Amino acid sequence: MYYPYFRGKQFDLLALRELIEKGLLSEKIQPIIEPVKNTATFQKFLLSAQNYQHPIYLIQNPQLGEFNTETGNIKLETVPARKASVVSQALETMTQRSEMLIIDQPSIALASDWENNQKKVLVPPEFRLLNKIKGDKILSLDHFTRLPSLNFYQECPDELFSTDYLNYQKRGFVGFSDFSIDSRIYYEKGYPSPILSLHLVYFFQDTLRIHHFLSSEEGVTQKEKFLVLMEEVKSWCNLLSSEQLTLGLTILFDYADKEKFPGMGVMRKASVMHHMELMSRYLQ
């Protein structure tokens, strides 16, 4: 089972919602959502997940954003979804009801009593934690390479992304989790850049790799940069099997064919859709 972790960013939620409504997100993918803003996009996503009966986990004590208050936590408790809780205090003192626990601070987890735990636990693969924590464990890793400048991706435009899906069970886990094409460290907004970027995962000999596409700085407009970038993506796609063409990629190609720039948000949405759809096909 795959539990991708999303921090409730607008275009991530739009990506998940569209996949759910189009029946393209496998039930073997159960997103964990840490909500940061109480937006219409968030509410519509929750409604879609409920209407289409797609399993998700909603973190009811987020550690940042608008819901990181007592009132915010109470609001989230009333949402009809499976709940997860970040272990932010000693486990034996937590009163929130949840079906999943998330390890954020190892020191708190190590000081807690886990003997009677019956819940699934999202945990990084640290020996002390794995030894201490009882119950079903979900492997949590951060695979996305976040660099301080987009230019740095030119040094390593293609790299291994993940093989967790191949070995998580052999390592004693009941599921695996990552942050998709984002990192564990939360950023509300990126820094402005004259370069457009697109991070696309793909399967190669059973391993999941990621290719970092960067536009040139030379284009006069964002549209020109996008169209040149998409020509590179099309050439790259032609080298892959047709099974790796997804709705997310199709959305981008449609904009390119119409010679329109969709905006960075839609590019982000499409790349998340692409990742989730590929994993859905693999896990099915």
The neighbouring-strand residues paired with 138 are 122, 175
pLDDT digits (tens, 9 = 90+) for 129-171: 999 999 999 999 999 988 777 778 888 899 999 999 999 999 9
pLDDT at res. 190: 56
Q: How far apart are CA 215 and CA 276, in angstroms?
A: 24
Helix residue ranges, H only, the chain: 10-21, 40-51, 70-77, 106-110, 127-132, 164-167, 222-238, 247-257, 264-283
Among the listed residues 182, 269, 196, 208, the one whose alpha carbon sits nearest the alpha carbon of residue 233: 196
The neighbouring-strand residues paired with 83 are 58
pLDDT digits (tens, 9 = 90+) for 225-274: 999 999 999 999 998 888 889 999 999 999 999 999 999 999 999 999 99
Mean pLDDT of 68-81: 88
Q: How far apart are CA 60 and CA 34, in angstroms?
A: 8
The answer to whether 42 and 8 are in contact (CB under 8 A) is: yes
- Which pairing describes strands 57-59 and 175-177: parallel, antiparallel, or unpaired? unpaired
pLDDT digits (tens, 9 = 90+) for 187-237: 665 555 788 999 999 999 899 999 999 998 876 799 999 999 999 999 999
Total domain count, the chain: 1
Q: How far apart are CA 87 and CA 76, in angstroms?
A: 16
pLDDT at res. 106: 93
| CB count in 10 Å sphere of residue 91 | 19
Q: Which residues form the domain of 68? A: 5-283
pLDDT at res. 189: 59
